[in-house]
Amino acid sequence: MPHYTPPLRDMHFVLHELLKVTETLKTLPPHAEVDVETLNAVLEEGGKFASEVIAPLNQSGDAEGCALNRDTHEVTAPSGFKAAYATFVEGGWPSLGCDTAYGGQGLPVSLNQCLYEMLNSANQAWTMYPGLTHGAYECLHAHGTPEQRQTYLPRLTSGEWTGTMCLTEAHCGTDLGLLRTRALPGGDPSADGSFLITGNKIFISAGEHDLAANIVHLVLARLPDAPEGSKGISLFVVPKFLVNADGSLGARNAIVCSALEHKMGIHGNATCQMSLDGARGWLVGQPHKGLNAMFVMMNAARLGVGTQSLGLTEVAYQNAAAYAKERLQMRSLSGPKAPELAADPIIVHPDVRRMLLTARAYAEGGRALAVYTALLIDQELSSTDAAVKEDAADLVALLTPIVKAFLTDNAWISTSHCLQVFGGHGYIREWGMEQFVRDARINMIYEGTNTIQSLDLLGRKVLLDRGKKLKKLIVLIQQFIEKEGADTAMLEFINPLADLGEKASKLSTELGLKAFTNPDEVGAASVDYLRVIGHLVFAYFWARMARVAIDHRADDDPFYRAKLATARFYFAFLLPETAALIRSARGGARSLMSMDASLF
């Protein structure tokens, strides 16, 4: 059975030494009183819940899966999930980052980010139930009417109710402009303003379960007068049970689970086909502007999926590293390292170390990026300085597709490496590694495939505003380079960072000029381009982390020695990938698009 130890020391490093989050939080009125002790205390207790309550349910939940009663359309989650969720609610964890006006604790997003990383390491399938709920909360908080906010937010905040987003239909995946679900006026508008919604949705995570008393679905549908395409989509809140005027639960609404998907991974989460047959729902936001409102939840989900993969990368690394220090196999090429044993532990072999360090570098780099992005969201939401809010919003928009796609790609690489460290045992269920690989694979697909994220980054976030958002990131990197470039101890990190920054800027300009004459050039280059920019961001954070580690050389602390060694590995072994990526990004659309489709 795999183990999980919350990486509190590294979280403290990122929060307090690398990013110095409390200095930023002091400038934000809602969080000005949050101190280091508060952050650390919350993380310690959150880590206990993750490692002691839900981690032991991960393998059993995967083996058992969810069960659908076809007569009642009710879904039962794996054994132990419901009790664990009750403990989660009793501990006040759902309300951590929620508005105090609705019963939340009002703590920063950057703290909530660390909590959810630990939850995802412990049990991704379980964590999807409260994770999606927080996204529904964010959407209604931003776009709901006062009545909707008062009806739903207190119960979503407390965790008494959970939430979902119902977007996808069988004939349309990411292309939501093709959706067919319809919403008709439910009668006299002066009555309750509801609509009757009919259609079928698929791939709805946590769409039906027995963890909470009610499920609040956010459903995309078309009104009778809707224009074609994505500009004709509206958003509706559709509760599983209708809510009476006094807040109590009323009749069962006409939205049910018609089937459970049989999946490669995340078996403990109910991925549902949902059928709506005149289900009563209420418009959220403006008619035909549903995608604008839903993007709040979709962007939150994209960041959340990156966190899922960060969690899997960390837990896979922990288990592989522990195994490599114990498993005896062959002798070191440079001579026995444990002559008293029959063979050396496999940790002595260079390629085993390459695989372990790859996972470690991607986990620790991903943690820095994820917490930094969450801190930007804190600034975007709570700063009183208009310029700070604007800069933070631009950087969040730029980094969101990178968090989603780069971290999930890296998790697929890392979990596969960590399985490989176990050799044949990694392929066997009892060790838990094959589950991490299976669970990691979905993260590259849902909430917008990684290709969609790449198109979003290059096409919308970089080229559409002529590089305005990217330049803000480049300025931060250049400022760091100018500050540290004179220190010879930093040159091994500064020089490759500066070189990649120049090449990434040049590549962006080249692709923009090519796309001006042929839009297919964006599609041809975007996936490679995102990995280039992802590595640029990681190189920036690894150089910053190396700076902190170098400053602590006199401490002779093994933590800083390991941090510096991992930074050197990243720059020596992982960053060089960008040379090939830049070359292939320049390959162009012609070789991809010239062959006739009939020849495939």
Residues annotated as catalytic are 447
Amino acid making up residue 588:
G
Q: Is the sign of the CA dihedral 90, 94, 100, 103 positive or negative?
A: negative
**For residue 593, what is the enclosing H or E element?**
helix 590-593
Q: Quick one: DSSP state of residue 191? A: T
> CA-CA distance, 137 to 149, in Å (whole number)?
9
Q: How far apart are CA 415 and CA 320, in angstroms?
A: 9
Q: Would you say 307 and 241 are in contact if contact means Cβ atoms under 8 Å apart?
A: no
- Other C-beta atoms lying within 10 Å of the C-beta of residue 244: 11
Q: Determine contact, residues 316/433, Cβ cutoff 8 Å.
A: yes
Q: Which residue stretches of 327-385 are H helix?
A: 350-382
247: left (phi over 0), alpha (psi -120 to 50) or beta: left
Q: What is the DSSP string of 192-230?
A: T--EEEEEEEEEEET-S-SSSSEEEEEEEEB-TTPPSGG
Q: For residue 330, which amino acid is it?
A: M
Read off the DSSP letter of residue 588: -
Please spell the DSSP secondary structure of 134-175, one letter per residue: HHHHHHHHHH--HHHHHHHHHHHHHTSEEEEEE--BTTBSS-
Which SS3 state, helix, strand or coil, does residue 186 take?
coil
Within 10 angstroms of residue 171's Cβ, the number of other Cβ atoms is 11
Q: What are phi and psi of 75, to 5 degrees?
A: -115, 135
Q: Which residues contact 489 (CB under 8 A, 6 or more apart)?
A: 550
H/E element, 241: strand 241-243
**Residue whose token pair is 């390491």:** 121
DSSP 495-524: HHHHHHHHHHHHHHHHHHHHHHH-THHHHH
| Spatial contact of 401 and 457, defined as CB atoms under 8 Å apart | yes
For residue 538, give the amino acid letter: F
Q: Helix, strand, or coil here: 268?
A: coil
The whole-angstrom distance between residue 96's C-alpha and the CA centroid of its chain comes to: 18
